[in-house]
Amino acid sequence: MLELRKADHRGVANHGWLRSRHTFSFGHYHDARQQGFSDLLVINDDRVDPAQGFGTHPHRDMEIFSYVLEGALAHQDSMGTGSVIRPGDVQMMSAGTGVRHSEFNHSKTDGVHFLQIWIVPSLKGAAPRYQQVHFAEAEKRGRLRLIASPEGDGGSLGVHQDMRMYAGLFDGAGESATLELPADRYAYVHVARGSVEVNGERLGEGDGARIRGERQLRFAKGEQAEVLVFDLRPHELPSM
């Protein structure tokens, strides 16, 4: 079963320098029906003006991913990490016992567009850690590339949770992929841009889908589509 979450039903935040769409409840946006899915707690679709960003702030016991679609995002944290994240890069910060960090648009002239994703970890009180990996377009073109997994399989980022995240690019009839799901697993699909059919259902930019009871996900007929897919535990987050 696919339960669609249309892009224009997401929460909206406009702070002038930041324009964000929230798939799930976040900040001042609260919807009792949208409290995450399994261990996937946050998908924020953020656009930040040149030279603007999020000042230093704390996190604890959360797996936090940044996935840049356009532009460049500068990161600094209390672990001593300084980096710039660009399209193709996937960055993950395991906050663990506590970390402080900032995120700013690296450019003084161009905007940055990125997704921030939070996963609830299975392990609390872990040592904070930082990871960043670049996945070339060819690795995702017409297929689903594993980008995060518990053991860091195949060069993916290692995450403290029983989940796997994939990224794929699909454009045209010749590009399609199938993901086999183990029995009783959940999945979530987020279309970062473009459009694509998932099990025959057309999803557009910003659309998402909760998926239960499916053993196979089929991606086809993409139109400049960039897709993230989460393979998740059959678990419901408690209401907040």
pLDDT tens digits, one per residue of 98-142: 999 899 999 999 999 999 999 999 999 999 999 999 999 999 999
| Model pTM score | 0.95
- 119, 163 Cβ separation under 8 angstroms: yes
What's the domain count of the chain?
1
Is the pLDDT reported for residue 170 higher than 60? yes
Least Cα distance to 40 among 94, 96, 118 occurs for: 118
- Structural domain contains residue 240: no
pLDDT tens-digit map of 6-22: 999 999 999 999 999 99
Which 3 state secondary structure label does DSSP give 16?
Answer: coil
- Structural domain contains residue 238: no
CA dihedral 133, 134, 137, 141 (to 10 degrees): -10
- Structural domain contains residue 151: yes
Distance CA 99, CA 97 (A): 7
- Structural domain contains residue 155: yes
**Domain span including residue 180:** 2-232
Confidence of residue 240 (pLDDT cuts 50, 70, 90): very low
- Structural domain contains residue 239: no
